[in-house]
Structure 1
Amino acid sequence: MKGSHSGFFCTSITAPKMGVVIDTGSHLLNQIIDSFLVFAIVAAVRVLALELCHGVNKGSFSKGKLQDLSMKMCKEGAYWGIIVALYVGLVYAMQMTHILGGWINAMLAGALTGALVSSACNSGKDKIVKDTITGGFIATAIQLFQYFT
């Protein structure tokens, strides 16, 4: 029969939603904190997954390795959280100026974020230029992808 679903079992699974709301009274600060927390958690979980896989392959876990793991998770989480918070703050500031719009703000904020992070890491001039271009490219690509979906 056309349109009949006999013989099929259809279901969907959804993850439980959890939310934490931090209201500082400033929309910009709320966005920066939210972005920092989300990306810090993602980066920390990434480190956790990679290190656990590495530990399983070697077949060993120790208290010292777990302490090293927690330090790596904190460091990586803070690093990516700061980068994303900087980017979000720059995009927001550019949107508030109303000079440019859309993907151009994202490109400029991405490029500036790449340059600032690279400079802060004491990279050489060539690396700073590459990171500036990469930051701008990634931010622009994400904006264009969001536009077409």
Structure 2
Amino acid sequence: MPRTSINGKVNLAVDLGDPFLNHVVDGFFKIGTLKKMCKEDAYWGTVAGLYVGLEYGVERLRGTRDWKYAMVGGALTGALVSAVGNNNRDKIVLDAITGGAVATAAEFISYLT
């Protein structure tokens, strides 16, 4: 069960009975509550929850944990977030590539530390 510390003051344990949902909510709280809760924070918290959920889902489907799950999760998140506010197919593809690249780079950096 993921445990989240909000602003270093509140320790929150999330258990929705499903590991997938637990990771999504945990991702939302980790990113969405770093600052005061406002529209932008809720947006980034939702994006983070979507990414963590997709990443976890891809990991479960593949049955392995490597850089590829981060790339696919980032690409899917980039495409979905872009598609919500954009009808330009080229922009959606570009955002999917960017999301995949950023997630893959973050995964490689985490291996170095």
TM-score, normalised to structure 2's length? 0.83
Stretches of structure 2 that go unaligned for 5 or more consecutive residues are: 1-6
Stretches of structure 1 that go unaligned for 5 or more consecutive residues are: 1-14, 49-72
Would you say 1:137 and 2:85 are equivalent positions?
no
Q: Percent identity?
A: 45
Runs of 4+ in 1 over 6 A off after TM superposition: none
- Name 1:66's counterpart in structure 2: none
CA gap of 1:122–1:23, structure 2 versus 1, over 3 A, is same
- Name 2:26's counterpart in structure 1: 34
**What CA distance in whole angstroms lies between the structure 2 residues aligned with 1:100 and 1:87?**
17
SS in 2 for 1:19: strand
**What CA distance in whole angstroms lies between the structure 2 residues aligned with 1:33 and 1:16?**
18
Matched AA of 1:127: K
- Name 2:12's counterpart in structure 1: 20
**What CA distance in whole angstroms lies between the structure 2 residues aligned with 1:125 and 1:137?**
18
Aligned pair count reads 107
- Name 2:49's counterpart in structure 1: 85
The structure whose RCO (Cα within 8 Å, separation 6+) is larger is 1
> How far off is 1:100 after superposition?
5.8
- Name 1:57's counterpart in structure 2: none
Q: Is the radius of gyration larger for structure 1 or structure 2?
A: 1
> If each structure's strand is expressed as a fraction of its own residues, which one has the higher value?
2
> How far off is 1:126 after superposition?
2.2
- Name 2:71's counterpart in structure 1: 107
- Name 2:3's counterpart in structure 1: none
> How far off is 1:95 after superposition?
1.1
Superposition pairs of residues 65-80 of structure 1, within 5 angstroms: 73-80=37-44
Matched AA of 1:77: D
TM-score, normalised to structure 1's length? 0.65
**What CA distance in whole angstroms lies between the structure 1 residues aligned with 2:8 and 2:32?**
20
